[in-house]
Structure formats: structure tokens, C-alpha cells
Amino acid sequence: MDAIDRRILRELQADGRLTNQELAQRVGLTPSPCLRRVRQLEDDGVIRGYRAVVEPSAVGRGFEVFASVEVRRDRDSVAAFEAQLQSTPDVVEAYRLYGAPGCLLRIAVADSEAYERFWTEKLISLPGVSDVNSQMIMKRIKAPQGVPVD
């Protein structure tokens, strides 16, 4: 990956809706080689996809929570827990961590009452869950911007 590829990545992370012509102009290429490079970055798995960034409150999910979750530390429990998370739409991000807690989840629901229902009816009944510690998000200080591609 060279400096032009990195410029392409920076531009697309800032605005994934750029046309190929706009992108080529911003990175100093003509459209044809620019498109080839973008396709190669996609084929190589460097660019994994494109998506819209949605305002959570606009779709009734303005109450966000980080939940630290302890899962029994055996292969079957971890696998069952992770598989169940894939079909749990309220969990918008999930990470397995080294050490304690075992997992960190970002959950987006309508309000505190909706989170309480989710916690009671779904979260604590996920396979292998032994403990949950919730932290409500007061204010988003910095939103995801993509990864640095220096």
C-alpha cells in the first residue's frame, strides 16, 4: 500500500459517497487508475464495505449503554454467547476482551425503560452470562471517524 492508496482510504472514510471522478481528483489520479486502486483495496479486504451513519435518536434508539459482560470461560459458553449476539439487534457492537470483563457491548435502545426490559428479558439470559455491569452514555464526545491511515 502506497501513499496514494492511503489518501484514497482517508478520503473514502471521510465521505464514502464520493464519485470515482471526485475521488480521483482529490488524490491526484485520473478516474481509471483510481477505480482500479479502489477495486484492488476492496478485493484485498482493506475496504470492507460502505454504509450510512444513522443518528440513533432519529430511529428511536437514542439511549445508548456500554455493558461489561462476564461470560463463563469455557469454549461452548463463549461460542453460544457470541452466536446469540449476532441475532440480537439491540447490541450494535460487541467485543471480546482480554482479562475482565470478558466482553464489552454497545447497546442502543429507546430509553431507560427499554434498556431495563432488554437487560431483564434478553441480556442476562444470554448463554453463559454470569455478570453484567452497565454504564449509560451521557454524551458522545468523539464519534467513530474511521482508522488513521498515516
Q: pLDDT tens digits for 101-124? A: 899 999 999 999 999 999 999 999
Q: Is the pLDDT of residue 44 over 90?
A: yes
Which of 86, 67, 79 lies closest to 131, judged by CA?
Answer: 67
Residue written as grid cell 482529490:
26
Distance CA 70, CA 132 (A): 6
Residue written as grid cell 432519529:
58
* Secondary structure of residue 64 in the 3-state scheme: strand
pLDDT tens digits along 65-94: 999 999 998 999 999 999 999 999 999 999
How far, rounded to the nearest angstrom, does the alpha carbon of residue 24 sit from its chain's CA centroid?
Answer: 28
How far, rounded to the nearest angstrom, does the alpha carbon of residue 2 sit from its chain's CA centroid?
Answer: 26
